[in-house]
Amino acid sequence: MAAQVKYDDVEVGTELPAQTYHVDRANLVMYAGASGDFNPIHWRESVAKAVGLPDVIAHGMYTMAQGGRYVTDWVGDPGAVVSYGVRFSAPVVVPDEGGADIEISGKVEEKRDDNQVVVALTARSAGAKVLTRAKAVVRLA
Partner 1 sequence: MALNRDFIGRTFPPSEPYEVSRVKIREFATAIGDANPIYRDSEAAKAAGHPDVIAPPTFPIVVSLGGPALLDPALGLNYAMVVHGEERFEYQRPLRAGDVIVCSTTITDIKSAGNNEMMKIETEVKTVEGELVCTAYNTIVERGA
| 58 burial via Cβ count (<10 Å: 0-12, 13-18, 19+) | buried
State yes or no: residue 86 binds partner 1 (CB under 8 A): yes
**20 belongs to the binding site for partner 1 (CB under 8 A):** no
**How many residues in the shown chain lie near partner 1 by CB under 8 A?**
38
Q: State how far Cα 76 lies from the chain centre.
A: 16
Burial class (CB in 10 A: 0-12, 13-18, 19+), 134: buried
Residue 11 or residue 55: which is nearer to partner 1 going by CB? 55
Please select the residue that binds partner 1; options are 64, 108, 121, 140, rule is CB under 8 A.
Answer: 64
Q: Which one among 31, 43, 48, 93 touches partner 1, defined by CB under 8 A?
A: 31
**Helix, strand or coil, per DSSP, at residue 119:** strand
Q: Which of 48, 84, 93, 117 binds partner 1 (CB under 8 A)?
A: 84
| Minimum distance from residue 111 beta carbon to partner 1 (Å) | 19
As to burial, measured by CB atoms within 10 angstroms (0-12 exposed, 13-18 middle, 19+ buried), residue 119 is buried
Figure out which of the listed residues 45, 77, 103, 109 binds partner 1, where binding follows CB under 8 A. 77
- Check residue 10 for interaction with partner 1 (CB under 8 A): no
